[in-house]
Amino acid sequence: MSRFSFFNRSNTFHLTPLESSPQKPFNLERTSSLDKFYDSMESVKSTKSSIRGRMVKKFCNLFETKSKDSSKSSKFAASSPDESHPSSRAKSNLSNSKGSDSSCTMFMLPDTEDRIVVYFTSLRGIRRTFEDCNAVRMILKGFRVWVDERDVSMDIEYRKELQCVMKEEKVSLPQVFIRGKYIGGADVIKHLFECGELGKLLEGFPKTKPGGFVCEGCGDMRFVPCFDCSGSRKVFDEDEGLIKRCLECNENGLIRCLDCCY
């Protein structure tokens, strides 16, 4: 008998048998435990897939409602086009120029039924405005028709005249009138030029000389210094012996060129 019983190799552990039936030896069932583990994983996956499917359905419903709303809005937009778009403005102005609509006849420039009038500026203070003015002038010059160019930066009376016709205090530049009827600004003129309608509006106007014709009197500036005061805006009245304001020129001491402006 060993002194230390727990070191005895003959000692074995046995489960106490039940009275009714003998106890089976303890055996770890690996297959059943793995099956349970896989079953639990499949249940987790199924729950995840169901949750994921619900979320996908929710997102699909959201996008479907948005697409339906956008399609409705697009239908409404198609039925009522934006009036601020250049093409719509050009079509309306073109119809007005043909006389089909009398609602815009209030934008009429008197005493200009036989000419093309362009209000523009030669100042470079605002780059976009200056480029638009030059673009409109070049487009009209390409048709070789005479254009009555009215520079509001050279004569303040032109600005007042345009404000009176448009019935607005702040008017963007350039503005074009053909046969006394208002056509539009730079966007409208560019659109009419691209679609080929501008040439139809300019039919019947006298043609200028071919090539790069430049007025010898003013150099295409449309203004020359006043002949009476030489641009000083002051004249001497011999009868009264006083210096008075010259009434023949504008605020800059300029008058319209007699060679190219009529």
**In the numeric block, which tokens belong to residue 171?**
């008017």
Span 49-78, mean pLDDT?
51
CATH number of the 87-201 domain = 3.40.30.10
This prediction's pTM: 0.61
Residue with token string 């770890």: 28
Q: What mean pLDDT value characterizes the chain?
A: 75
- As a whole number, mean pLDDT of residues 190-195 equals 95
* DSSP string of 207-224, one letter each residue: B--SS----TTTTT-SEE
What is the pairing mode between strands 175-178 and 181-184? Answer: antiparallel
Residues of the chain with pLDDT > 90: what percent? 45
What is the per-residue pLDDT for 100?
38
pLDDT of 78:
40
CB of 179 closer than 8 Å to CB of 221: no
pLDDT reading at 27 higher than 80:
no
Residue 113, φ and ψ in degrees, nearest 5: -70, -15
Decide: residue 113, CB within 10 A, 0-12 exposed, 13-18 middle, 19+ buried.
exposed
> CA–CA separation, 260 vs 185, rounded Å?
24
pLDDT (0 to 100) of residue 35: 57
When pLDDT is cut at 50, 70 and 90, the band that residue 198 belongs to is very high
Read off the amino acid at residue 31. T
Higher pLDDT, 61 or 169: 169
Confidence of residue 74 (pLDDT cuts 50, 70, 90): very low
| Strands 116-120 vs 147-151: parallel, antiparallel or unpaired | parallel
Give the pLDDT score at 120.
96
> 104 and 177 in contact (C-beta within 8 Å)?
no
Digit-coded pLDDT (tens) for 205-229: 988 876 667 888 888 888 999 999 9
Q: Kindly tell me if the per-residue pLDDT of 93 is higher than 70.
A: no
Residue spans of the domains in the chain: they are: 87-201, 223-256
